[in-house]
């Protein structure tokens, strides 16, 4: 089960040029936005990365606009764990449960999840907020991550898992987001 004080969200490489090529991109964008807005309400820390932004462009505006002071971490390694800036930021958060959304499922998401698992993190991949250019690549990657020990979840499942109870102002705010 996810726990508010142990969890962080990593949003991987949802950038302009590549994002437009994703399988079911509209659902990806919608669910990633719901997930980000929900964890912001719940005060879960978020790290956003960009793969080679010079070539792939910036994070899509729908995602970037959700952050008042948007500062994504640029990287060139497919795995976020291959970037020193990411490693420093993740260690500073002191969170051992990592939710992952982003693209591409079979490259950067997969390699990041496997590296985090190897480093002793609990990893939950948000299946309806990850994508690849093809459905096959997405499905193969989700299965491989599950085989490696990652949990597979959904946007709503993760948010309700973090909340635990159906009461209070945060529950009401998050419920409005997922409806």
Return the active site residues.
13, 75, 108
User: Which residues, including other chains, have CB under 8 Å from residue 97's CB and lie 6 or more apart?
Assistant: 2, 3, 6, 7, 8, 121, 122, 123, 124
| Contact criterion met (CB below 8 Å) for 84 and 78 | no
CA distances from 110 to 19, 53, 89, 114 (A): 17, 19, 20, 6
Rounded CA-CA distance 74/175 in Å is: 32
Angle separating helix axes 155-163 and 169-178, nearest 10 degrees: 170
Helix (H) or strand (E) holding 8: strand 7-12
Going across the sheet that includes 7-12, the strands are 73-75, 46-51, 7-12, 97-103, 122-131, 151-153
Take residue 179 and report the two structure tokens written for it.
Answer: 């409806």
Helix (H) or strand (E) holding 128: strand 122-131
């Amino acid at each position: 089960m996810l726990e508010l004080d142990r969890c962080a969200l990593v949003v991987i490489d949802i950038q302009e040029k590549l994002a437009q090529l994703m399988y079911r991109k509209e659902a990806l964008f919608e669910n990633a936005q719901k997930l980000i807005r929900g964890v912001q309400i719940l005060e879960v820390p978020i790290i956003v990365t960009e793969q080679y932004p010079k070539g792939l462009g910036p994070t899509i505006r729908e995602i970037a606009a959700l952050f008042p002071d948007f500062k994504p971490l640029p990287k060139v390694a497919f795995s976020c764990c291959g970037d020193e800036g990411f490693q420093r930021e993740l260690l500073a958060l002191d969170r051992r449960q990592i939710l992952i959304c982003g693209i591409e499922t079979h490259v950067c998401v997969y390699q990041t999840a496997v590296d985090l698992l190897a480093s002793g993190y609990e990893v939950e991949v948000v299946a309806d907020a990850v994508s690849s250019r093809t459905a096959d690549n997405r499905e193969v990657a989700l299965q491989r991550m599950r085989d490696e020990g990652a949990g597979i979840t959904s946007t709503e499942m993760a948010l309700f898992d973090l909340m635990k109870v159906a009461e209070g102002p945060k529950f009401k705010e998050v419920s409005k987001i997922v409806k």
